Structure 1
Amino acid sequence: MENIVFLETNSTSDNYKQSYQISLPLQSYIIYCIYKYCAPDEVDLCFVSIPSSENEITLDFCEEKVNLHFTNLKDVPWQVKSCAFPVTLYGDTIITGLCAVARHICKYRTQNQSSFEHEEGLLGFRKGCLQAPNEVSIWTKFCEVDLLRTIKECLSTEKMCVLPKNMVRFENHLRKPVRVHNVYKVARDIKKETLKKIDDDRKIAKEVTSISENTRTSKTRKWKSNIKKQLEVDCSIKIEDLNISHQFAEGPFFTLADLILLPSYYIIAQSFGTTFESVLPLTSKWFTNVMNIPEIQTIKSVLDGIRKHSILLENLSVPTTDDVSLYKCDPKRQNPKKRLFTKPDDIENALSTLVEGMELNVKNIPFDSCINWSDIPDGANPTAGHLPDERVTRKSQQLENLALAVLNIAKEGDVIVDFCSGSGHLGILIAYLLPKCTVILLENKEQSLLRARQRVHDMGLKNVLFFQCNLDFFIGKFDIGIALHACGIASDLVLDKCLKVNAKFVLCPCCYGSLHATDRLVYPRSCKFSNVTIDQYLCIGHAADQTHKEHPLTIRGARCMAIIDSDRGRLAEEFGYTVTLSRLKPLSCTPKNNLLIGVPS
């Protein structure tokens, strides 16, 4: 099975052979460091030569003449070119995104485990380090997006007066209590190691004293330890009082997160010089701890090979940031989802801003056929799972609605992407019904995609590919985009992907109350709804989630759902699409039963 990591470079094979230098974007540089550290024998590394204007880091291999494999972009498989680098091609699966690729490399490491690591290795407790995607994890987003953006800005500046906020955020993080799984067990283990060392020292000292005081051989006495009594840790103690500090980024253990952050902070340490320790004392201490790990010496030459970039620091000021850690569960962190927008007066005021012609008409679309589930094999059939009968019926109805909508607009040879595919119920069904189309199951949760992959292999389907990545990292072209219950802003991100490549779409949105403005999304989406303020829009979205069965506000909730989806449909119309808003049949198959279909002119 192919197992290749592709990294972007601005160098060519000839360039490297002449100078033994290679120019890499920051993401490629970080993955190369991780690859060198883990030394995975079963993973190949390939550099893809792409001219780039991105800020680059030059690695000098004059002392260590490594054989590197290069290729051109035109020779790379189309699946790899459909994603942002770095990318891993693992058989029929594509893995992209800095953290996901790094996790994949760690699974094949051959280097001995460091004594500073968790007993389960670089991926930590239950192999969960940086597993959550950056859309939902503040920590992953910091490691994969925020800090990298800061480092790139530093590489393009020669003078700095204000310390970047992301550096202050990490400094604050290291000051906060450690929040890890089984924190009290970790506290007991640390206490055990400390007390055991003290106990051993005392035992040795007593034996030495006994030997020196007695000229004749005396009977060896058993050393009785009271260590067990001292190991107890009261679970009522506050976490901040457990005496567990951030020796490393995620607490007392060296993890993949430290390895990802290290190259970036190595650049900062070089650029800041002696100022690094004075303005970021805790970060400097963390950096020293990581650099003192013996195994880090395996990548010391790569770190030292960076072309230094000095920054003139004049009267450097420290900006104010939220005094919280980078853990999502920090109780001090403000949670905007806790704000309520459903006061009756607010909803009525928001709805009063709508005028005739803004909302799409909800149509009744009759499909020419239905799916005979008795003919559908187990891998694509909800009845083969372990769901209650009522749940199986409703799931089958949902899948049938979307599958028939796709069959109605698909043609032979189409590439169909099932965004946020989960374990692949919808995408696998469509792949079975359309064997001459290629179906991509795109999902950022590794375990969900593995379940889908197993079902596809059991069925023997040959027209399905698996993309483990965030929506951000998928940049390929396709013909139809589908999504069943993509939560909150995910439906809008899927819609934007379709509009960008002029692809048809079939969407059944969900979780309207989770909508929020981001650096990529502005609400309302369309010009027709531009008179609605963001607060009014979010108020309507929150009311749209009040569609529970036999709820007194169900009718109003259904209208609010239609309003949000009308805004999405109007945006597509501005891109030249013909848009249809309908509802799943029967309505009882799910409370979130809107179906938005778009076909470009």
Structure 2
Amino acid sequence: MENNLVFLESYTDFVDYGESRKISLSLESCIIFCIYKYCAPKGLKLKLVATKERKDVIAIEIMESGLEFADNEKISWQVTSCVFPVALLEDTIITGLCAVARHIAKYKTGARNSNEHEEGILGFRKSCLQAPNEVSIWTKFCEVDIIKTVREILICNKLNELPKHLVRFENHLSKPVRVHNVYKMARTMKKKNITRLEELKIIEEKIETEKKVRSSKSRKWKSNIRKASQIDSSVAIEDLNISHQFAEGPFFTLADLVLLPSYRILIQLIGISVFGSLLPLTLQWYERLTNIPEIKVINDIIDKIQCKLVSIDQTVIVPTTEVVSLYKCDPTRHNPKKKLFTKEEDIENALSTLKEGMMINVIANQLNSKWDWNNIPDGANPAAGHLPDARINRKSQQLENLTLAVLSVAKDGDKIVDFCSGSGHLGILIAYLLPKCTVVLLENKEQSLLRARKRVHDMKLKNVFFFQCNLDFFIGKFDIGIALHACGIASDLVLDKCLKTKAKFILCPCCYGSLHSTDRLMYPRSHKFKGVSINQYLCICHAADQTHDEHPLTQRGDLCMAVVDSDRARLAEEFGYTVTLSRLKPLSCTPKNNLLIGVPS
């Protein structure tokens, strides 16, 4: 049985493809197809899944022979639970453009091209595009922003203003390279750039030195090449002379492959002259990329994509954007999340806006059971060495609370999703206790999920499946959604997933102070709390994080947590849920100890 597959969504069925050899794909699937052709991965098979074309998707038509379609009736529920493209590796699902691209890159065959990093197209420590788009500005640009830009221009008749994301990338290319190994990179490059004249000079110095010491005590000679290539870390990054030859710096990486098809289409739509005059660094990057011999396999695919030229206004507006790189670590980047609402009078004024009937009662925790961790096997037991000693007791208490809550609402056959599962402490315990239920561990960090997978396999559990993806990319049906300390807005995203699919939810939120409005979430969340302004709400959120032990503001922090979770509960009630708000016990197991349980009517 094939156990390593990549599935792409096709808007052309097998019959039509057999007649025309043309295939219509979403832009994301087209990009993955190009990366697959470039990497020619060993042991990884590509299959197309015929689906109906969605109204929100502009199809990209390519010509290619020898493609294989999957039998829709035999596609596993894991694959259909996710947004395409999707990779399936045994019991693990990987979805999301960048995550699937990384998966393909790991199986790449053939030699490195001369522009790649010595560790390959995944770059230093194989970290290229590793961070999920929820936390990485760079991954979000490659996976979301530029895709959105292409879609907008594909349906545009006349362009009056240059898309802001194109300007952002141009600014990125103009800024110093900011990666965590930039000084090592500078030293390596300097060492490689030592001229032959310098080498000859060093050899001459060696000969003279040997003459002087020949009659005296012999010593081991050390080359000055290493000394000449040293760069002190106090040197400003701007003075390292490392420029963006490619998207992530001086080396060709997977990020270039992800961006290339989109920019090929954009140049065809807007015209190379516009890029040359308004986005010159982007055009230089694009031409440098397309001139790499190994890129020919991608050029042959995307050169056949036909797009009509968009009419450009003679006085096209170039939007003003921050002249910063797309790296999160750029110190000049504006970060609205850093704004703190700490003035006492602001917090008190925000709390004064609360009206009677807005809050829900915080009830006593009624979940009681004679719990004995000695009966829990090592793989599901925090005491087995999966955690530092200082955390074992508190983590065990947290797991008890949420597990008992799940046991109180679960029934045989339920599909339970542990969102933001980390290394699986909660989900694995539930899977062991509920062997007739299916448990999904959903986590966007690859290493965390791999640790969970090893423990599950060691325990020989057969009811656990693994999804490496962002919350957005999971679209499957489920019966119970759980999340223990899903940070900030992640708790609200989990709540929305549960409300959409009418699933029960069990949430223990955290990081209230990092809540912020996004294009998907607006605060306050419920109609009951609409009288609270966004600034007042964020004041309350910030105060909700003041719940440390023996802190004079802990009591107020508890109240503010209850305010935010009451807003969440009121939203669920609007969807027909019965919701209870209680607290974990003992309270000392975590400062973020609210427990929301929702059951649809």
Q: Quick one: distance in 2 between partners of 1:499 and 1:201?
A: 72
Contact kept, 8 Å, 2:402 with 2:506, in 1: the verdict is yes
Residue aligning to 2:31: 30
Q: Quick one: distance in 2 between partners of 1:198 and 1:410?
A: 75
Change (3 A) 1:159 1:365: same
Per the TM alignment, residue 72 of structure 1 is displaced from its structure 2 partner at its CA by 5.3
Q: Quick one: distance in 2 between partners of 1:323 and 1:12?
A: 45
The aligned runs of 1:81-480 (5 Å cut-off) are: 81-196=80-195, 199=198, 227-271=225-269, 272-315=271-314, 316-385=316-385, 387-480=387-480
Change (3 A) 1:232 1:389: closer
Residue aligning to 1:549: 549
Does 7-16 or 454-463 show the bigger shift?
Answer: 7-16
Q: What secondary structure is seen at the aligned counterpart in 1 of 2:499?
A: helix
Q: Among all aligned residue pairs of Structure 1 and Structure 2, give the percentage whose two residues are the same amino acid.
A: 68
State the aligned residue count: 578
Q: Quick one: distance in 1 between partners of 2:224 and 2:192?
A: 14
Does 39-48 or 139-148 show the bigger shift?
Answer: 39-48
Residue aligning to 2:500: 500
Q: What secondary structure is seen at the aligned counterpart in 1 of 2:115?
A: coil
Contact kept, 8 Å, 2:360 with 2:566, in 1: the verdict is yes
Q: What secondary structure is seen at the aligned counterpart in 2 of 1:528?
A: helix
Residue aligning to 1:70: 69
Contact kept, 8 Å, 1:196 with 1:227, in 2: the verdict is no
Q: What secondary structure is seen at the aligned counterpart in 1 of 2:194?
A: helix
Q: What secondary structure is seen at the aligned counterpart in 2 of 1:274?
A: helix
Does 275-284 or 189-198 show the bigger shift?
Answer: 189-198
Q: Quick one: distance in 2 between partners of 1:189 and 1:150?
A: 37
Q: Quick one: distance in 2 between partners of 1:290 and 1:440?
A: 40
Q: Quick one: distance in 2 between partners of 1:267 and 1:201?
A: 49
Q: Residue 58 of structure 1 aligns to which amino acid in structure 2?
A: E
Per the TM alignment, residue 408 of structure 1 is displaced from its structure 2 partner at its CA by 0.3
Per the TM alignment, residue 94 of structure 1 is displaced from its structure 2 partner at its CA by 0.4
Q: Quick one: distance in 1 between partners of 2:163 and 2:523?
A: 28
Q: Quick one: distance in 1 between partners of 2:188 and 2:196?
A: 12
Residue aligning to 2:210: none
Q: Quick one: distance in 2 between partners of 1:578 and 1:386?
A: 36
Q: Structure 2: where are the runs of 5+ without partners?
A: 204-221
Per the TM alignment, residue 312 of structure 1 is displaced from its structure 2 partner at its CA by 1.5
Equivalent of 2:61 in 43, 58, 62: 58
Residue aligning to 1:208: none
Per the TM alignment, residue 227 of structure 1 is displaced from its structure 2 partner at its CA by 4.3
Residue aligning to 1:18: 19
Q: What secondary structure is seen at the aligned counterpart in 2 of 1:592?
A: coil
CA deviations on 1:443-470 (whole Å, 9 max, x unpaired) are 0000000000000000000000000000
Q: Quick one: distance in 1 between partners of 2:10 and 2:426?
A: 37
Q: Residue 304 of structure 2 aligns to which amino acid in structure 1?
A: G
The aligned runs of 1:32-51 (5 Å cut-off) are: 32-51=33-52
Q: Residue 267 of structure 1 aligns to which amino acid in structure 2?
A: I
Contact kept, 8 Å, 2:412 with 2:437, in 1: the verdict is yes
Per the TM alignment, residue 200 of structure 1 is displaced from its structure 2 partner at its CA by 7.0
Q: Quick one: distance in 1 between partners of 2:474 and 2:302?
A: 30
Does 105-114 or 181-190 show the bigger shift?
Answer: 181-190
Q: What secondary structure is seen at the aligned counterpart in 1 of 2:529?
A: coil
Per the TM alignment, residue 203 of structure 1 is displaced from its structure 2 partner at its CA by 11
Q: What secondary structure is seen at the aligned counterpart in 2 of 1:264?
A: helix
Contact kept, 8 Å, 1:184 with 1:235, in 2: the verdict is yes
Q: Quick one: distance in 2 between partners of 1:11 and 1:163?
A: 33
Q: What secondary structure is seen at the aligned counterpart in 2 of 1:393?
A: helix
Q: Residue 309 of structure 2 aligns to which amino acid in structure 1?
A: S
Per the TM alignment, residue 337 of structure 1 is displaced from its structure 2 partner at its CA by 2.9
Q: Residue 434 of structure 2 aligns to which amino acid in structure 1?
A: L
Contact kept, 8 Å, 2:365 with 2:584, in 1: the verdict is no
Change (3 A) 1:600 1:47: same
Change (3 A) 1:203 1:304: farther
Q: Quick one: distance in 1 between partners of 2:255 and 2:357?
A: 51
Q: Quick one: distance in 2 between partners of 1:203 and 1:262?
A: 43
Q: Quick one: distance in 1 between partners of 2:154 and 2:477?
A: 32
Q: Residue 436 of structure 1 aligns to which amino acid in structure 2?
A: K
CA deviations on 1:82-141 (whole Å, 9 max, x unpaired) are 000000111000000000000000000112211211111111111110000000000000
CA deviations on 1:165-201 (whole Å, 9 max, x unpaired) are 0000000000001012221221122122222456579
Q: What secondary structure is seen at the aligned counterpart in 2 of 1:257?
A: helix
CA deviations on 1:22-44 (whole Å, 9 max, x unpaired) are 11110000000000000012111
Contact kept, 8 Å, 1:50 with 1:73, in 2: the verdict is no
Q: Structure 1: where are the runs of 5+ without partners?
A: 205-223
TM-score by length of 1: 0.94
